[in-house]
């Protein structure tokens, strides 16, 4: 059996999976579950997923979604339980992927310093540039994403899902 190759997974792949909006992303994560890929992401991606899931969940209970209305809503214990239920359930899925070798990489200060340079050079937002910095530090040359901004980086292979 060939050795799985390393790939960094961007937040949008997980969000497509969580919201079941892109069958390609769902199928891609099934490949991670089958050990077909050596998959990585970062703590920054996990934060982005968690934040967006929290905001989406809160939108089920609030008429107007702003950061302030969500913060106020979350001050109540019952509201927190309702909002964080899907967040915690998806975190269980992330933990499940770890059983198949999925790895969450740390974001370092050095990564962020490099990310600022890459953001300026390639016209990326700093979060995307941070993904590239982490990938370079770990020697990962493939990224799964639906964000075409990564096409600007010639040192990586951009895989659209």
pLDDT at residue 20 greater than cutoff 80: yes
Q: Which domain holds residue 63?
A: 5-160
What is the per-residue pLDDT for 152?
Answer: 85
What is the per-residue pLDDT for 121?
Answer: 94
pTM (2 d.p.) = 0.92
State percent of the chain over pLDDT 90: 84
What is the per-residue pLDDT for 36?
Answer: 78
pLDDT at residue 3 greater than cutoff 60: no
Q: What total number of domains does the chain contain?
A: 1
Please list, residue by residue across 130-141, b when 16 or more beta carbons sit within 10 angstroms of its beta carbon and e when fewer do: bbbbbbbeeebe
CATH number for the domain including 9?
3.40.50.1010
pLDDT at residue 56 greater than cutoff 50: yes
Q: Averaged over 63-85, what is the pLDDT?
A: 96
Confidence of residue 159 (pLDDT cuts 50, 70, 90): confident
φ/ψ (deg, to 5) at 87: -65, -45
Q: What is the pLDDT of residues 139-155, one digit of tens each?
A: 999 999 999 899 889 88
Instruction: Name the nearest CA neighbour of 155 among 141, 135, 145.
Output: 141
């Amino acid at each position: 059996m060939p050795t799985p190759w390393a790939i960094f997974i961007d937040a949008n792949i997980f969000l497509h999976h969580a919201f079941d909006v892109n069958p390609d992303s769902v199928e891609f994560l099934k490949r991670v579950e089958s050990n077909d890929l050596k998959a990585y992401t970062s703590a920054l991606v996990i934060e982005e997923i968690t934040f967006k899931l929290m905001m989406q969940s809160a939108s089920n209970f609030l008429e107007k979604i702003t950061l302030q209305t969500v913060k106020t809503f979350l001050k109540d214990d019952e509201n927190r339980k309702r909002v964080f239920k899907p967040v915690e359930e998806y975190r269980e899925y992330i933990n499940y992927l770890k059983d198949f070798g999925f790895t969450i990489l740390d974001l370092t200060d050095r990564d962020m310093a490099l990310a600022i340079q890459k953001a300026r050079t390639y016209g990326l937002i700093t979060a995307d540039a941070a993904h590239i910095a982490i990938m370079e530090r770990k020697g990962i040359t493939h990224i799964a994403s639906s964000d075409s901004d990564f096409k600007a980086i010639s040192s990586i292979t951009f895989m659209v899902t």
